[in-house]
Chain A
Amino acid sequence: MAKLTIDGVAIEVPDGTRLFDACTQVRGEALPHFCYHPDLSIAGVCRLCQVEIEGAPKLTIACNTVVRDGMVVHTRSERVRRAARQILEMHLINHPVDCPICDQAGECGLQDQYMIHGLYASEVAKSDKVLKLKAQPIGPHVILDKERCVLCSRCVRFCQEITKTGELGIFQRGDRAEIGVAPDRQLDNNYSLNTVDICPVGALTSRDFRFQKRVWLLRSVPSICPGCATGCNIRIDHEGGQVWRLRPRRNDAVNGPWMCDTGRLEYKRLHAGDRLSRPLVRRDGELREVEWREAWPELEQRLTAGKGKLALANPHQTVEELWLFKRLAGLFCGEDLTAGCLAGSDAAEGDQFLLDADRSPNRAALARLGLAARAPAQAAAQAVAGAPVLVYGGDPALADPALAAALGAAELIYFGTRLNATASRARIVVPLAMWAEKAGLFLNRQGRLQALRAAIARPETAREDWRFLAELLTRLGAGPQPATLALLRAEVGAAFGLPAAQDLDALPAEGLVLAPVTGAPAGGGR
Chain B
Amino acid sequence: MPRDDCRILSARFGRRDGHKLAVYEADGGYRALRKALTSMTPVAVRDEVKAAGLRGRGGAGFPTGVKWGFVPAGASTVYFMVNADESEPGTFKDRWIMDYDPHAMIEGAILSSYAVGARLCFIYIRGEFGWLIDRVQKAVDEAYAAGYLGRGILGSAYELEMLVHKGAGAYICGEETGLINSVEGRKGQPSIKPPFPAVQGFLRQPTIVNNVETVAAVPYIVREGAATYRRHGTEKSPGTKLWSVSGPVRRPGVYELPLGLPFREFFTQDLGGMADGEELKAVIVGGSSVPVLTADEIMGVNLDYESLAEAGTMLGSGGMIVVPSRCDMVELIQVLMHFYWDESCGQCTPCREGTGWLHKIVKRLRTGAGAPSDVELLERVCDGMMGLTICPLADAAVMPMRSFLQKFRHEFVALAHRPEIAQPRSRWARQTNEVVR
Chain A interface (Cβ < 8 Å from any Cβ of B): 42-48, 50, 58-59, 61, 64, 82-83, 86-87, 89-91, 93-94, 123-125, 128, 130, 150-151, 153, 170, 172-177
| Cβ–Cβ contact B349 & A87, under 8 A | yes
Q: Which residues in chain B, 254-292, are within 8 Å of chain A measured between CB atoms?
A: none
Asked if B141 CB lies within 8 Å of chain A CBs, one says: no
List the A side residues contacting B380 at CB < 8 Å: 86, 123
| Cβ–Cβ contact B350 & A94, under 8 A | no
Give the residue of B342, B347, B355, B388 whose beta carbon is less than 8 angstroms from that of A87: B388
| Cβ–Cβ contact B387 & A174, under 8 A | no
User: A160 to nearest B CB, angstroms?
Assistant: 11
| Cβ–Cβ contact B384 & A170, under 8 A | no
| Cβ–Cβ contact A47 & B353, under 8 A | no
| Cβ–Cβ contact A89 & B384, under 8 A | yes
| Cβ–Cβ contact B388 & A59, under 8 A | yes
Question: Given contacts A128-B361, A175-B341, could you give 12 more A-B pairs where the C-beta distance is less than 8 Å?
Answer: A45-B348, A47-B389, A58-B387, A86-B384, A87-B350, A94-B353, A124-B357, A170-B347, A174-B342, A174-B344, A174-B356, A175-B355
**In the complex the two chains form, what is the Cα distance from A50 to B348 in whole Å?**
13
| Cβ–Cβ contact B344 & A173, under 8 A | yes
Encoded as 1 (CB less than 8 Å from any A CB) or 0, chain B from 362 to 405 comes to 00100000000000010010011101111000000000000000
Top 10 nearest A-B pairs by Cβ distance? Answer: A86-B384, A177-B346, A44-B192, A175-B356, A174-B344, A90-B353, A173-B346, A45-B347, A174-B346, A128-B360
B353 nearest in chain A by CB position = A90
**In the complex the two chains form, what is the Cα distance from A175 to B359 in whole Å?**
11
| Cβ–Cβ contact A44 & B346, under 8 A | no
Asked if B47 CB lies within 8 Å of chain A CBs, one says: no
User: A269 to nearest B CB, angstroms?
Assistant: 42
| Cβ–Cβ contact A44 & B390, under 8 A | yes
Q: 13 A–B contact pairs at CB < 8 A?
A: A45-B390, A47-B348, A64-B192, A83-B384, A90-B352, A91-B353, A93-B357, A123-B377, A170-B187, A170-B347, A174-B355, A175-B356, A176-B346
List the B side residues contacting A176 at CB < 8 Å: 346
| Cβ–Cβ contact B192 & A175, under 8 A | no
Asked if B130 CB lies within 8 Å of chain A CBs, one says: no
Given A83-B388, A86-B384, A175-B341: A170 and B346 within 8 A (CB)? yes
B191 nearest in chain A by CB position = A44
**In the complex the two chains form, what is the Cα distance from A123 to B360 in whole Å?**
13
**In the complex the two chains form, what is the Cα distance from A316 to B384 in whole Å?**
56
| Cβ–Cβ contact B360 & A90, under 8 A | no
**In the complex the two chains form, what is the Cα distance from A86 to B348 in whole Å?**
13
A63 nearest in chain B by CB position = B192
**In the complex the two chains form, what is the Cα distance from A423 to B349 in whole Å?**
59
Asked if B345 CB lies within 8 Å of chain A CBs, one says: yes
Asked if B343 CB lies within 8 Å of chain A CBs, one says: yes
Asked if B65 CB lies within 8 Å of chain A CBs, one says: no
| Cβ–Cβ contact A90 & B384, under 8 A | yes
List the B side residues contacting A172 at CB < 8 Å: 346
User: A34 to nearest B CB, angstroms?
Assistant: 8
Asked if B185 CB lies within 8 Å of chain A CBs, one says: no
- Which of A43, A91, A151, A173 has the most chain B CB atoms closer than 10 A to its own CB? A173
Asked if B194 CB lies within 8 Å of chain A CBs, one says: yes
List the A side residues contacting B347 at CB < 8 Å: 43, 45, 151, 153, 170, 177
**In the complex the two chains form, what is the Cα distance from A407 to B172 in whole Å?**
72
- Which of B172, B343, B388 has the most chain A CB atoms closer than 10 A to its own CB? B388
| Cβ–Cβ contact B349 & A46, under 8 A | yes
List the B side residues contacting A82 at CB < 8 Å: 383
Encoded as 1 (CB less than 8 Å from any A CB) or 0, chain B from 325 to 359 comes to 00000000000000001111111111011111100
Give the residue of B342, B350, B390 whose beta carbon is less than 8 angstroms from that of A86: B350
List the B side residues contacting A173 at CB < 8 Å: 170, 172, 189, 343-346
**In the complex the two chains form, what is the Cα distance from A42 to B193 in whole Å?**
11
**In the complex the two chains form, what is the Cα distance from A58 to B350 in whole Å?**
15
**In the complex the two chains form, what is the Cα distance from A170 to B341 in whole Å?**
17
List the A side residues contacting B170 at CB < 8 Å: 173
| Cβ–Cβ contact B353 & A175, under 8 A | yes
List the B side residues contacting A64 at CB < 8 Å: 192, 194
List the A side residues contacting B361 at CB < 8 Å: 128
| Cβ–Cβ contact A90 & B349, under 8 A | yes
**In the complex the two chains form, what is the Cα distance from A173 to B342 in whole Å?**
8
List the A side residues contacting B189 at CB < 8 Å: 173
Give the residue of B356, B384, B387 whose beta carbon is less than 8 angstroms from that of A130: B356
**In the complex the two chains form, what is the Cα distance from A91 to B353 in whole Å?**
7
List the B side residues contacting A123 at CB < 8 Å: 377, 380
| Cβ–Cβ contact B344 & A59, under 8 A | no
User: B349 to nearest A CB, angstroms?
Assistant: 5
User: A475 to nearest B CB, angstroms?
Assistant: 67
**In the complex the two chains form, what is the Cα distance from A43 to B346 in whole Å?**
13
User: A175 to nearest B CB, angstroms?
Assistant: 4
**In the complex the two chains form, what is the Cα distance from A266 to B347 in whole Å?**
37
B347 nearest in chain A by CB position = A45
Give the residue of A42, A45, A58, A130 whose beta carbon is less than 8 angstroms from that of B349: A45
User: A202 to nearest B CB, angstroms?
Assistant: 17
**In the complex the two chains form, what is the Cα distance from A58 to B389 in whole Å?**
10
User: B344 to nearest A CB, angstroms?
Assistant: 4
A42 nearest in chain B by CB position = B192
**In the complex the two chains form, what is the Cα distance from A47 to B389 in whole Å?**
7
Given A83-B388, A174-B343: A151 and B352 within 8 A (CB)? yes
| Cβ–Cβ contact B341 & A174, under 8 A | yes
User: B174 to nearest A CB, angstroms?
Assistant: 14
User: B98 to nearest A CB, angstroms?
Assistant: 26
List the B side residues contacting A61 at CB < 8 Å: 192
| Cβ–Cβ contact A150 & B349, under 8 A | yes
User: B309 to nearest A CB, angstroms?
Assistant: 14
| Cβ–Cβ contact A151 & B349, under 8 A | yes
**In the complex the two chains form, what is the Cα distance from A58 to B392 in whole Å?**
12
A174 nearest in chain B by CB position = B344
User: A95 to nearest B CB, angstroms?
Assistant: 9
- Which of A91, A153, A172 has the most chain B CB atoms closer than 10 A to its own CB? A91
**In the complex the two chains form, what is the Cα distance from A128 to B353 in whole Å?**
11
Encoded as 1 (CB less than 8 Å from any A CB) or 0, chain B from 156 to 190 comes to 00000000000000101000000000000001010
User: A143 to nearest B CB, angstroms?
Assistant: 22
List the B side residues contacting A59 at CB < 8 Å: 387-388
Q: Which residues in chain B, 86-142, are within 8 Å of chain A measured between CB atoms?
A: none
**In the complex the two chains form, what is the Cα distance from A515 to B347 in whole Å?**
49
User: A123 to nearest B CB, angstroms?
Assistant: 6
List the B side residues contacting A45 at CB < 8 Å: 347-349, 390
User: B182 to nearest A CB, angstroms?
Assistant: 12
**In the complex the two chains form, what is the Cα distance from A461 to B361 in whole Å?**
67
**In the complex the two chains form, what is the Cα distance from A48 to B385 in whole Å?**
12
List the B side residues contacting A58 at CB < 8 Å: 387
List the A side residues contacting B355 at CB < 8 Å: 174-175
**In the complex the two chains form, what is the Cα distance from A470 to B116 in whole Å?**
79
| Cβ–Cβ contact A47 & B357, under 8 A | no
**In the complex the two chains form, what is the Cα distance from A93 to B355 in whole Å?**
12
Give the residue of A47, A128, A151 whose beta carbon is less than 8 angstroms from that of B346: A151
List the A side residues contacting B348 at CB < 8 Å: 45, 47
Q: Which residues in chain B, 184-239, are within 8 Å of chain A measured between CB atoms?
A: 187, 189, 192, 194
**In the complex the two chains form, what is the Cα distance from A285 to B326 in whole Å?**
102
**In the complex the two chains form, what is the Cα distance from A64 to B390 in whole Å?**
11
- Which of B189, B349, B360, B390 has the most chain A CB atoms closer than 10 A to its own CB? B349
**In the complex the two chains form, what is the Cα distance from A125 to B370 in whole Å?**
11
Given A45-B347, A128-B360, A174-B345: A93 and B383 within 8 A (CB)? no
**In the complex the two chains form, what is the Cα distance from A64 to B385 in whole Å?**
19
**In the complex the two chains form, what is the Cα distance from A170 to B352 in whole Å?**
13
B387 nearest in chain A by CB position = A58
List the B side residues contacting A87 at CB < 8 Å: 349-350, 384, 388
Encoded as 1 (CB less than 8 Å from any A CB) or 0, chain B from 77 to 91 comes to 000000000000000
User: A157 to nearest B CB, angstroms?
Assistant: 12
List the B side residues contacting A125 at CB < 8 Å: 360, 364
| Cβ–Cβ contact A90 & B192, under 8 A | no
Given A123-B377, A175-B355: A47 and B345 within 8 A (CB)? no
